[in-house]
Each structure stands twice: as C-alpha cells, then as structure tokens.
Amino acid sequence: MKKKTLVVVESPTKAKTIEKYLGNKKYTVMASMGHLRDLPKSQFGIDVENDFAPKYINIRGKGDLIKSLKKEAKKSEKVYLASDPDREGEAIAWHLSHILGIDEHEKCRIVFNEITKPAIQEAVKNPKEINIDRVDAQQARRMLDRIVGYKLSPLLWKKIRKGLSAGRVQSVTVKLICDREKEIQKFESEEYWTVDFKFKKKPRSSMFGAELVAIDDKKLMVSAKKEDVKIASKAQADELCSDIEKVTFKVTEIKKRQRHRKAPAPFTTSSLQQDAARKLGFTSRKTMMIAQQLYEGISLGKKGPTGLITYMRTDSTRISEIALNEARNYIEENFGKEYLPEKPYIYAAGKSSQDAHEAVRPTNIALSPATVEEYLSKEQLKLYKLIWQRFLGCQMLPASYDVMSVTIKGDKYLAKATGSQLKFAGFTAVYNDSDNKKEKDVILPDLQEGDELSIQKLEAMQHFTEPPARYNDASLVKTLEERGIGRPSTYAPIIETILARGYVVRSDKKFEPTDLGFVVVDLLEKYFKDIVDEKFTADLENKLDEIAVGKIQKNTLLEEFYGPFEKTLEHAEEEIGEVEVPDEVSDVQCELCGRMMVIKQGRYGKFLACPGFPECRNTKPILKDTGVKCPKCGGKIIERRTRRGVVFYGCENYPQCDYVSWDMPLTSNCKTCGSFLFRHRFKNGRTILYCSNDDCATRKEDTPINKEINKLKEKIQQQTAKKLAELAQKEAQAQEENENKEHKEENKA
C-alpha cells in the first residue's frame, strides 16, 4: 500500500476544508492547534549571554497531540507544513519541523492565500523551504515582548500591585488612551450660536434651507480668530436675528457642478476592523474571530466545507488577476456595462505595507451573501456581506452627484445653501461607505441669479464646542495603523490585553482609562520613556520588518534594545518607591465593619469592596436600581451582568427571589392594567414596549407587536430549556464517570 502525504495545518476546521480538496486517499490532514512550542512560562527562557539563545519547550497539555503527529509523520511518505501564511504561521512551521525531525531547508512548506481547490493544489505542487528570515522576525518580536514583560512586570507587581503587566506595544496603546482622556479633562467648552434660514422664492415655490456663513465679509466661526466672527451668546444671536429680519435677500451666485465619489479600496485587516466596528458594532476581537471562521471554511450543504474569504491578516490592497476578472464579469452580468470601468482599478498599498498577501476578499464572487445565507450565523453573514460588497464595489465606477451651491446676500449678511442629487449610483449600488445607511438627496428649487427671496423662518440655535471623542475600536485601530504601532495581526490582542489588565474599560463602546491605567502610564513615562514612546515603538516595528526581508540580523536588534533597557530597569528599581492607586470612595457602608466601601475594578467591571482588606473581605456588586418593584416579592429590580458582561434585570433579593428578565423594566405603566412596561431592543436597534403582565388584555390582542413578543418569549423559553437539558446531560455524564471510576478502583482493590 502506497504511503500517504501528511499535511499539518493550524485548526481542525481548516483541516476538514483542505482534506476535502486534496482527498483522503493520498493525503492525511491534521491540525497542530496553533503553537506546539514556546518560551517557558516559569522562567525567562532567553540566554542573554549566549547570543540571546531562546529556550523552547513543548507547551503543556499538547503531549498527546505531538505524539500523534510524530506517529503519523513517521509512516507518511512526505510531510507538508501548511500553517497560516504570516510570520506567526512561518514560526509554527519552523517549530513543527524541529518536533517532527524535518530538515528546515527541505521543501516542506506550502502557503496559500485562500482555501480554494486551485490554490491548495497549486501550493502542493510548489512546496518551498521555510523562510528563516520571517521566522527570525517572529522570534525577535516574541523575545522583545518577553524581555519587556518578564523584566518589567515584576517591577509593577512590587511597586503598584500584583497581576499587572507591561508590554512593548500595549503600554503605548494605554498611553494613547490616557493622553486623549487628559485632553478631554482639560477641555473647556465654549458656547456658540448658528443662524439658519428657511427661504422661499415666491409664494408657491418650495421652501429650502440655508445657513448664515459670514457677516461683513468675515467668516462665521466656532472659535473666532481676529479676522473671523463668532456669535457667542443668546443676546448677540437675538440682536442679529432682529436686524436680519429687516433685510432683503437676493441670490447673488449659483454654481452647478458634478461631484464624483470613488469607491474605497478593498479591505485590509485594519480597514475591515474599522468598518465592522462602525457599521456592525463588532469589537476587533469579534471581527477577527468571525473572519477566521470564514477563511478556514464553512460547510455549505452538499458542497461541504468551503473557504469563503482570503487570508484576513494583511496590509495589502492587491487583488489577483483572476479575482479581478471574476468581479468584472459579475458586475457586467448583474449591474450592466455602465457600471464597469474600462480597466480594472488597482489600489496603491500604504508606505509600510509588506504586500505579502492579497486584500481581504471573497474567494468566489459568485457566492453572494444571498446564496450562502442559510449556512451562516447572523454575525458571519453580516461580516461576509460587508467583505463581499466592499470588494465588488471597489471595481465599479464612481457615484456621480449633481451639486448646486447658492450664495444669498442681504446687506452685510451672507448665507449659503447646497443641494445634491444622485445622478448615477456607481459603486453605491452595492456598497455604501458613508456612516449613514442611505444618503438623501437635497433638492433646491429652480433659482436664478438676482431672484429675491423671502424669509419664512429664522432660527438661532445654541451649541457648545465638544472635547475630542474617546477612542473606540475603529478609531483606535486607525490610530495604531497610522502611527506604525503594532501590525494588523496584533491590534485585536492588544485591545483585549489592556482590557483584561484593567488599564482601560469599555464604556458605551469607547475606551476609558482607569486610575490604574493612569498610574502605570505615568510611572512608565517617567522611568521608561522608550517603552511608551510612539516613535521608538514604530521604529522597532520597522526593524522587525527589515529582519523579515533579511536586511538586519535578529540578534543585532535584540542587543540594541537590551543593553539600554537593562540599565534603565536597574535605575528604576532603586528610584521608584511604592505607588498607591487611589480608590474611589462610595456612599455604601460595609455592614460587617462600618467602613465606607470603595469602588474597585475587576475583570468583569466595577464592584464594591471593603477598604479594611484583608481583615474584612466583604465585597458586593454595584447595584443599579431601575426604579421598578419586583412583581414576585416587592423588592427592587436591579441591573445585573452575566460573566460575559451581558446586561439582564433581576430582583435584589436573589437567591430568595428568582425573578429575572432580559428586557428592561420601565417606570411607566400600562394604561390598561397599571403594570410596569418592558422595553425590548432588537439587534437592528428597533425597540418595542409591552406590558409585563402576561394576563393583561393588551397582551391578548391579535396585533403584530404581541405576535412578536410571544415569538420572542417562546424562543427564550426554548433556549432556557435547551440550556437546562445540556446541564442535566453534563451532570449525568459526570455522575456516570464518577461511578465508572469507583468501579475501577474497587476492581483494582
């Protein structure tokens, strides 16, 4: 019997998809489940005196997997290492070659940007050697992070508190968030007013809006410079409006032009995370997790596991010629030739782009979101639809608008009105790059220069200047990319790490630094300037890129970094005293010892703790009262959170009272029976109000809302029943395992 070829990939899902394309008669596809070797957790693991030699060990818990891979490799004719096509994947392949006894110079590495049959078969025909330069770049990054983390973290434990960590990239990210918060705290809001008009050309013409933009040829500004004007108070605005009402306004200039809006480039890792955060409300981690699933393969019924998108960790906007032709054919067949440019659009890569992989795109444009909808979860479908639409749109002609700009003058006052009408949809027929779901046309009436206009409405509106916005997932990823901090594959882990360490919290989908975050950043800024310096971190990233292409040696970079860092560490050890993180004191008294409890930040959010720790260990959750009484026992219904941070509502007297609800109880009452109302919010943002009393007459009516509520409640009951059944099954299995264990022990005895 002819021996098979072993192909080692990273994940079981990917293994299934690839085995389908290669066939199981000639090939065996196994998963390594990520890294199998790493630096040890219990020790530094880098021999600084011996050319920074790393000490790698097999990861605990992977022993059985390593044995089975070795066994399969021994009986196979060839072994191909098919880990992901990035530096991390190259390093995994290199570690596998050592574990399986493969010469690293042997042509054992196969790489593909998409999991499709042609790409897999082509990769198998053209195996390569492991790229040692890329492995070195990954090792250098890992060792730099180990040096900073292993040497600096104990200092934070000693001087601030246990469990903290410092990272080469995470610390800069926390500083960015802290610096933004300082800007917000220093910001002083200024009052300003704007004046809006509603004009008419003649009695029967339609009204249109305009805005006052200048007085005495001086621009109206929010924060006025010497040459500009600002309306700073209500008195000033009222005086201005009184004067404007006496003035006759005429159209002095009309400009008509056509505006073109080009399609954005296909997705990179960064732009995908930004768009998914903006349009779908996904965190960076969630976006990358779902993208990984789409890349590795989704079971499409009879077609079996199919990779739907290309590799999702990329900084390139490059598109293969085959994919371009497929997209152009699809556009011509489904939208018409008028949507197709003469030549395919080629998008320029950024300055720091490595251009190792294509842009994130569908592997097969014919697999439209509608054709795969039944096989995808809601979240998978949303992300796939976004990727599919963006890619198709990037090869369509620009959208065209007729724009009309009207200048209106009366005495010393100048107003402007702008109208815009879509004339040709172009790429917006498939993808809208605006934050608004649908842009509306603003159509002005037929106007001519010299037309006299009458004021139908004059309104002065008060405003206040706003501080810079806190970072959210989209803006933070964009800033990290622009400043060269980290690389596409690191953005999501960076954000998750700083959240897990308690340096920042997510508040209303935005990042807010904690007191701990401020304390750690201030300490690092004082004693380890390089660690939180953006330019220094960006330069290190560039040097890692140079290692990946063989321009500099790994050890050269490590030596340059380690020497100065070690001296700084010694100095800091001597200089820094114990740093105290101030606790916010609450108005809740500890019932055990009488002290006023303080607010602490834990892994799952804020909670109350007694400041008398360790003598008094009393803790309790921070309760947010809804103002509604429990229908079961009369206690307060309060807001609670699950371990995953999902909000639900329950009685304060739990566990004595088990009343819970996923929907928010409101203080307003039902007009029919007087019971409190619930508000249910759907994932698309739509909300409905309904009576909390199941026996209320309004709940018995045959209305669309009641049908929706009943359907919702039935779904929740089914989910609850399913969970309970799963728990019961697990308990039964555990009991059976214990009984079997007891029998075995009895037999041994």
**Pairwise CA distance, residues 286 & 592, whole Å:** 42
Distance CA 19, CA 28 (A): 7
Question: Among 483, 549, 89, which Cα is nearest to 494's?
Answer: 483
d(CA 87, CA 84): 8
Do 387 and 362 form a contact (C-beta atoms < 8 A)? yes
Q: Nearest-CA neighbor of 391 among 359, 348, 346, 361?
A: 361
Residue from 112, 105, 143 nearest 7 by CA? 112
Distance CA 113, CA 84 (A): 9
Instruction: Output the six-digit token pair for 250.
Output: 């005429």
CA distance 128 to 90: 11
311 is a catalytic site residue? yes
Distance in angstroms (rounded) separating the CA atoms of residues 577 and 283:
38
Rounding to the nearest 10 degrees, give the CA dihedral for residues 652, 653, 656, 657.
-50
Query: Which residue in 208, 203, 366 sits closest to 300, CA to CA?
Result: 366
Neighbouring C-beta atoms of residue 742, cutoff 10 Å: 10
Residue type, 665: P
Half-sphere exposure of 360 (CA within 13 A, CB side): 27
Scanning 485-616, the segments in alpha helix (DSSP H) are 491-500, 515-527, 534-548, 554-575
What DSSP string describes 301-336? GGG-EE--BB-S--------HHHHHHHHHHHHHHT-
Q: Residues 6 or more apart from 54 whose CB is under 8 A from it?
A: 39, 45, 46, 47, 139, 142, 143
Structure tokens at 17: 């998809």
The torsion angle over the Cα atoms of residues 275, 280, 281 and 285, rounded to 10 degrees, is -70
Query: Distances from the Cα of 418 to the Cαs of 49, 405, 437, in angstroms?
Result: 70, 5, 21
Catalytic residue of the set 27, 192, 295, 311: 311
Dihedral angle over CA of 56, 59, 60, 66, nearest 10: -110
**508 token code pair:** 């209303």
Q: Exposed (0-12), middle (13-18) or buried (19+): which is 553, by Cβ within 10 Å?
A: middle
- Residue type for position 118: P
Kindly state the tokens that stand for 19: 């085995």
3-state secondary structure of 421: strand
Residue type, 598: V
Q: Which two tokens stand for residue 665?
A: 């109880």
Which residues are marked as active site? 311
